[in-house]
Amino acid sequence: MNKDYSVKKSSDIEKIIKKRKSVGNTHFVVYKSENHEETHFRFAVSVPKKFGNAVHRNKIKRQIREIMAKLDVIDKIDVFIVVKKNANELDFEQIKKSITWLMNKQNILR
């Protein structure tokens, strides 16, 4: 996935969170915000240290990036995904199903 699709600055992430448009379940929280400056969607992933060691945290971030690359997300949206501690018991298909369900609930997918 192209680096243009990622939110890097903490100030941008704070703007997404301040919009308070969030939906979550026991494993993830998805925040969304409209961004009229970009022509495509952007996203960021946050995994707490309580999730596990660096190997586990990086693995779930790679999995979520792969899932986001395959989804058909509408343009001009910023998405921030927070992974909760108990998501480490999920396999890839369960993660994909959960993220897709949350994206549908936020009306982010086409």
Whether 12 maps to a domain, the answer reads yes
Its pTM surpasses 0.95: no
Whole-number Å distance between alpha carbons of 55 and 6: 21
> For residue 42, which of 21, 11, 69 has the smallest C-alpha distance?
69
CATH number at residue 55: 3.30.230.10
Regions of the chain short of the pLDDT cut 70 = 1-4
The amino acid occupying position 34 is: E
Q: In this structure, is residue 14 part of a structural domain? A: yes
Structural domain contains residue 41: yes
Domain total of the chain: 1
Q: How many CB atoms neighbour CB 16 within 10 A?
A: 23
Domain that holds residue 32: 3-105
Task: State the pLDDT at residue 1.
Answer: 64
